[in-house]
Amino acid sequence: MNLKEQIIALSKEIGISKIGFTTADDFAYLEKSLRAAVEEGRTSGFEHKNIEERIQPKLSLASAKTIISIAVAYPRRLPQKPQKTQYKRGKITPNSWGLDYHYILQDKLERLARGIEELTANFEYKGMVDTGALVDTAVARRAGIGFIGKNGLVISKEFGSYMFLGELITNLEIEPDQPVDYDCGDCNRCVTACPTSCLIGDGTMNARRCLSFQTQDKGMMDLEFRKKIKTVIYGCDICQICCPYNKGIDSPPVVDIDPDLAEPELIPFLELSNGQFKEKFGMIAGSWRGKNILQRNAIIALANANDKSSIPKLVEIIDKKQNPIHMATAIWALSQLVKQPNEELISFIEDITSDHPDVLAEREAFLTLAKKSQV
């Protein structure tokens, strides 16, 4: 076997679903769209800030000649459902089930690199997942992992779009693979299905309108998006669920998945301390934004689930005045759950004192709705 064949064989032993090779040439064609996204305010703010580093692999590894792109497929359905309890459950999207995929990919990339070191001398490399400089999807497309769909995700015939991506920038000279010869064609399902119209249709998006971004952004969630997240407290999968390439595909889990973490009970989730959150959820990808943002989402999810049993908990959140964003969101949730509030609840809301503008705005919105319900 030549070096390329040996690396492919090694990747299968490591549990890499698909591997591809491309040159370390620049991705200059991306510059215009990357700069436009920044100028037009369409970025999430989570991206690597230096655009030159995003499009020039040699800025990450001076000796770069070949980039090895890897994909690790993950399941789109839970291997088993959580047990039924008295509590309504929220949902965390599949890319955050089980151990944080950054750890999974970093481990597989490191094992791949160590294996290559045994096959060739003077090996230099730099590994990256989505927190690195390069645009993973662009690397994967050029390396033949799949094409970039209208939803901006890499899609392959073998695994659909449910793939984690990573790459090794290397100093190896290896014959590059070719991009795949299939694409979305005339299909526009993801663009049509997106509830916030964040997909532009050419593989780019207004990231700030994506529901996944909304579940990760700080502060109050804009009213426009609250009902649209339904009971999802982290992520969004709508553009993947509707994709024909994902039909009939459900890859096995990469690591053990606890269904109770994938679909957590909402009211107990609101009761977690920082320490309890880190202990229970700290190793999933969605934990990176911290407890408070996900608990805000859980409050919204309770309203969207029409969970009237959560009313005492929402009142408690407001009464404790510990977190103004939670307070304000809980006031909104109460307005959704109690369409005709009694005098006691109205008086409780009227008596709320705070100097936080979101709390005051939601209090006024609640009282306005209450007055209308009494007419």
Structure token digits, residue 48? 């690597």
Beta pairing, strands 18-23 & 66-73: antiparallel
Q: Given 100, 130, 217, 237, which residue is catalytic? A: 130
What sign for the dihedral angle of Cα 47, 52, 57, 60? negative
HSE (side-chain half, CA atoms, 13 Å) at 140: 27
Q: Quickly tell me which residue has 């859980």 as its tokens.
A: 298
Residue with tokens 């995929």: 101
Alpha helices in the chain (DSSP H): 3-14, 31-39, 51-55, 101-117, 136-142, 189-193, 211-214, 223-226, 238-241, 259-262, 266-270, 274-281, 291-304, 311-320, 324-337, 343-350, 357-374
Q: Tokens in use for 214?
A: 């909304």
User: What does R_g of the chain's alpha carbons equal in angstroms?
Assistant: 23
How is 57-76 classified by DSSP, letter by letter? Answer: GGGT-TT--EEEEEEEE--S
Can 26 be counted among the known catalytic residues? no
Task: For Cα atoms 22, 116, 251, give the angle at the middle one, nearest 5 degrees.
Answer: 65
List active site positions. Answer: 130
